Chains A and B, each alone.
Chain A
Amino acid sequence: MKDSQQCSNKHRPAHVAGAEAAGGAVVLPSEQAEQMREHARKTYPEECCGILLGRRNHSQVICSVYPTSNCMTVRTHDRYEMDPREILRADRAAEKEGEEILGFYHSHPDHPPAPSPTDAEFAWPGYIYLIIAVKEGKETQIKAWTYDEPLKHFREHPIKRSGETKKTSAGICRKPVTTGR
């Protein structure tokens, strides 16, 4: 699926409880960001979706993205549903690389990159949800969210491009990696 040497192989500390507890920032390499933007543009005006694989250390570090198909057969312009078998396959692939499923992405064609009531209805705590707004099939904007289950609301997290961080310690992808799909 990817070259595991391009990410640190240090495992996450036991005290990190999930996306909410990991300091907030989501590290997103520009190549992975572009891969998602391209997916969102290509499927416009329908919604796209995919899986985020990576490592959880001091930050959430996205090392690869795994585009999936939208299983919805109706309302594909404003709904998405992932095939659980693809999640299962991604989980196994991630495990082999010493990674994990950090979360998921989907697009909002001609809508802001903010979670909708439908997103909240299906949200799980502990995952990162990246939402890509696509305006008229061209302009894109990505925002990162996690769901706070007790408070029943989404919290926005800052996105750091991997090139923008000076850190080279555990958890930072040294250079962008791809899924090979």
Chain B
Amino acid sequence: MAIKVRIPTPLQSLTERQSEVRADGQNLREVLADLEAKFPGFQKRLYDDEGNLRRFVNIYVNDEDIRFLKGEDTALSEKDEVSIVPAIAGGN
């Protein structure tokens, strides 16, 4: 099942500059694994050394942060859209 995934600019170097790709999977974990298989390098950008999703990366399924769903176990259907949204912060 192909799921639409929105890719932010900093990660488009991995997707040949595509801002939107499709990845297969029944849940988010499978989709992210397929993303890595199709575009190697994603895993390192999305996960830390312990295998947890990085704090500076937000992942949304439609309008909901996966932290408020079932995380990587969130089930997906073809109508769903996954968005990778970088955390933006700073200050002087």
- Measured between beta carbons, the chain B residues less than 8 angstroms from A111 are 92
**B56 CB → nearest A CB, Å:** 7
If A81-B89, A118-B91, A118-B92 touch, does A126 touch B12 (CB 8 Å cutoff)?
Answer: yes
**Interface pair B63/A126, CB less than 8 Å apart:** no
If A84-B60, A85-B63, A122-B87 touch, does A78 touch B10 (CB 8 Å cutoff)?
Answer: no
Of the residues B12, B16, B17, B90, contact of A116 by C-beta under 8 Å: B90
Chain A 100-128: CB-based contact to B (< 8 A → 1; otherwise 0): 11101010110100011011011111110
User: For the complex, would chain A's binding face be called helix, strand, loop or mixed by DSSP majority?
Assistant: mixed
- Measured between beta carbons, the chain A residues less than 8 angstroms from B87 are 81-82, 84, 122
Chain B 42-86 interface residues, beta-carbon cutoff 8 Å to A:
56, 58, 60, 63, 65, 83, 85-86
In Å, the complex CA distance between A111 and B90 comes to: 14
- Measured between beta carbons, the chain B residues less than 8 angstroms from A102 are 9
**Interface pair A88/B60, CB less than 8 Å apart:** yes
**Interface pair A101/B91, CB less than 8 Å apart:** no
If A84-B85, A124-B10, A126-B12 touch, does A79 touch B90 (CB 8 Å cutoff)?
Answer: yes
**Interface pair A126/B13, CB less than 8 Å apart:** yes
A/B interface sample: 26 pairs, CB < 8 A: A17-B13, A17-B17, A18-B13, A49-B88, A75-B91, A79-B89, A79-B91, A84-B85, A85-B63, A88-B63, A88-B83, A91-B6, A91-B8, A100-B9, A100-B19, A104-B88, A109-B92, A116-B91, A116-B92, A118-B89, A119-B91, A122-B87, A124-B8, A124-B9, A124-B86, A125-B13
